[in-house]
Structure 1
């Protein structure tokens, strides 16, 4: 089965304050069996609102579906969720594998 990437694009209530809370949540959530990684990206354009991309990876869809609900149940990750102002998108993704052999 293909690896699953869960991607959230969001804004935070206080981007400076959330760093410590995120790191505590990251250590807690990535300690669960089945969570391959949690990476964070941030926008760089200072003329626009600051957005964060939280990227979680799992070995397969079944593991992602079983593990993801625990995020809202754990104290460290609940604290992180409380810092989110707005979730713009959140969804599971996998690497695109075209069915055709490409251009001939």
Structure 2
């Protein structure tokens, strides 16, 4: 089965503690069996609103579907969810396999 990447594009509240809250949530969530990683990227264009891409990886789709609901149940991740101003998108992704015509 293909590795699953879950990507959330977020606008965050303006709280100076958001990085510490995200890091506490990350340390907790990646301890769950089935969470391979959690990476955060941030936009660089300072003339536009800052967006964050929180990227989670799981070994397969079944594991992702099983583990993802735990995110909203854990105190540290609930605290992180409270820092989100707007979720632009959140969805599961896998590597694109081009279709070949024969």
Pairwise TM-score range, normalised by the shorter structure: over 0.9
| TM-score for both structures, normalised by structure 1 | 0.94
| TM-score for both structures, normalised by structure 2 | 0.96
Query: Deviations for 1:30-75, whole angstroms, at most 9, x for unmatched residues?
Result: 0000000000000011000000000000000000000000000000
* Whole-angstrom distance in 1 between the partners of 2:77 and 2:20: 12
Unaligned ranges ≥5, structure 2? none
Q: Which residue of 2 aligns with 1:24?
A: 24
Count of residues in Structure 1 that have an aligned counterpart in Structure 2:
102
Unaligned ranges ≥5, structure 1? none
Q: Alpha carbon RMSD of aligned pairs, Å?
A: 1.3
